[in-house]
Amino acid sequence: MLIIMVTWASLVMSRTLHEDSISAKHELWMAQSARTYKNQAEKAMRFKIFKKNFRFIEKFNREGNQTYKLSLNEFADLTDEEFIASHTGYKMPTRNISNQSQSYANNWFGYPDSRRGLPRSIDWRARGAVTPVKNQGSCGCCWIFSAVAAVEGITKIRTGRLISLSEQQVLDCSGSRGCYGGWMDDAFSYIIRSQGLTDERVYPYQRREGYCNWQRGAMKAARIRSYQDVPTSELALRYAVSRQPVSVAIDASSPGFRYYSGGVFAGPCGNNLNHAVTIVGYGSSNEGPYWLIKNSWGQNWGEGGFIRMRRDVGGAGLCGIARKASYPIA
């Protein structure tokens, strides 16, 4: 009985010490993330969420049998539902909007029947066609960031000028649902209708939708004439990415994706497309072949704001990455 009581007391003390350690980490995380709470009740509630997420990350990394690592980031005190609602935003449109967007689409996509002729790897960052990683904040307009990054890329390729373009212009002026979600083809369609995008310095991002402050005759920094949807095939997607950065939709519901900090992300994840990103290259490493992806969650997430995702897994690709890909044509 004495041995049982000592063992039980030791376990209780160990749990208490671990709880205190997590509490200290939460305090440090709050300071580093500039997070404050309105009262102690909210802090206690957020700490409970933080503790659950911290333990998930700790357990994942301790198992050590994955091709990627996780770490705490600014999303650590959000529930899965809160995070998906506030930091994703890919949504397919109604039929009417889809038909309007389709009128600007190029209906032909050609690609080789084999891998011959495709480069083994490409990184559009190294070719100067990728602007620094941006941060959508809690506005669900990832679809705009995805499309604008693709337009920035093709503008650099075609003109030699890398210009950070205005997401806010699309958010305010496209007549879309803005922070409540959308898809990249609608962003491309707006850019075509408006005859271009202005420089981000002229129309900076505000993390919320506002009144349109841009007129058709205003200064334009970049234009496109159409866009192209990519067939649901990783080979077709690889061909497109070898030519330019490409907008894609993925399932970002996985906590592993949310807390990704490095390596080649290999899931698990589903095919419920809810987030839009931009593929800016592909390659291979010791962890396997990957897509190089620019996200819009800031430079403190992932590998400086980027993620490498497993490539050539078959079907629609990991997390459905090949299901809804498209790119602008300048």
Q: Which of 179, 269, 275, 319 is catalytic?
A: 275
Q: Is residue 57 part of a domain?
A: yes
Split into its structural domains, the chain has a count of: 2
CATH of the domain at 316: 3.90.70.10
pLDDT digits (tens, 9 = 90+) for 45-69: 999 999 999 999 999 999 988 999 9
Residues 200 and 118 in one domain: yes
Does residue 77 belong to any structural domain of this protein?
Answer: no
Is 45 a domain residue? yes
- 74 in any annotated domain: no
Active site residue 39: no
Are 192 and 265 part of one and the same domain? Answer: yes
Q: What is d(CA 288, CA 65) in angstroms, rounded to the nearest whole number?
A: 14
22 lies in the same domain as 127? no
Assess whether 170 and 246 both reside in one domain.
yes
Question: What confidence tens digit (pLDDT) does each residue in 154-197 have?
Answer: 999 999 999 999 999 999 999 888 899 999 999 999 999 998 99
Domain identity same for 57 and 96: no
Q: Tell me what the pLDDT averaged over the chain comes to.
A: 89
269 given a catalytic annotation: no
Domain that holds residue 199: 82-329
pLDDT at 295 over 60: yes
- Known catalytic membership, residue 286: no
**Does residue 75 fall inside a structural domain?**
no
Q: What is the pLDDT of residues 239-281, one digit of tens each?
A: 999 999 999 999 999 999 999 999 999 999 999 999 999 999 9
Each residue's pLDDT tens digit, 91-119? 976 544 444 445 555 555 665 554 567 99
SS (H, E, C) the chain: CHHHHHHHHHHHHHHHHHHHHHHHHHHHHHHHHCCCCCCHHHHHHHHHHHHHHHHHHHHHHHHCCCCEEECCCCCCCCCHHHHHHHHCCECCCCHHHHHHHHCCEECCCCCCCCCCCCCCCEECCCCCCCCCCCECCCCCCHHHHHHHHHHHHHHHHHHCCCCCECHHHHHHHCCCCHHHCECHHHHHHHHHHCCCECECCCCCCCCCCCCCCCCCCCCCCECCCEEEEECCCHHHHHHHHHHCCEEEEECCCCHHHHCEEEEEECCCCCCCCCEEEEEEEEEEECCEEEEEEECCECCCCCECCEEEEECCCCCCCHHHCCCCEEEEEC
Question: Residues 153, 207: one domain?
Answer: yes
List 139, 142, 179, 269, catalytic entry: 142
Write out the two tokens for 161. 């000028």
